[in-house]
């Protein structure tokens, strides 16, 4: 059963620490999305990759956030240094090469920065 896998599922860290979230997209999917979900802002797009290249990362605070795809099976989202306002659930989603298809979501990483 193909699924998007995100690790860790939960992360509690202290302010100022580096946080790395990982995502394994579904095999064969060439698009990857990173979203952040909070009560106040809802579901915000942070970054969008196609064929491992970033197409849109305008929603990502560049000073502390970075997103990469070292290879087709791994996407990472890093926050350095982390701040309490980064506390949220971070979702990764992957999609097939055609635009008229849906994105499949992982279970999310719940990040708490204290």
Partner 1 sequence: AQSVTQLGSHVSVSEGALVLLRCNYSSSVPPYLFWYVQYPNQGLQLLLKYTTGATLVKGINGFEAEFKKSETSFHLTKPSAHMSDAAEYFCAVRVNYGGSQGNLIFGKGTKLSVKP
Binds partner 1 by CB under 8 A, chosen from 11, 50, 64, 78: 50
HSE-CB for 39 with a 13 A CA cutoff: 2
Binds partner 1 by CB under 8 A, chosen from 35, 36, 67, 88: 35
CB of 107 to partner 1, least distance (A): 5
Q: DSSP letter string over 11-48? A: EEE-TT--EEEEEEPPTT--EEEEEEEETTTEEEEEEE
Size of site (CB under 8 A) for partner 1 = 23
HSE-CB for 41 with a 13 A CA cutoff: 15
Q: Name residue 38's beta-bridge partners.
A: 42
Binds partner 1 by CB under 8 A, chosen from 19, 48, 77, 88: 48
56 near partner 1, judged by CB under 8 A:
yes
Binding site for partner 1 (CB under 8 A): 4, 31, 33, 35, 42-43, 45, 48, 50, 55-56, 91, 93, 95, 99-100, 102-108
């Amino acid at each position: 059963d193909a699924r998007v896998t995100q690790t860790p599922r939960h992360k509690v860290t202290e302010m100022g620490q580096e946080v790395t979230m990982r995502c394994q997209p579904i095999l064969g999917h060439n698009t990857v999305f990173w979203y952040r979900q909070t009560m106040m802002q809802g579901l915000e797009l942070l970054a969008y990759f196609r064929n491992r290249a970033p197409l849109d990362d305008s929603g990502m605070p560049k000073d502390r956030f970075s997103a990469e795809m070292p290879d087709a099976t791994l996407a990472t989202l890093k926050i350095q240094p982390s701040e309490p306002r980064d506390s949220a659930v971070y979702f990764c989603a992957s999609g097939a090469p055609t635009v008229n298809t849906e994105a499949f979501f992982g279970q999310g990483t719940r990040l708490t920065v204290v």
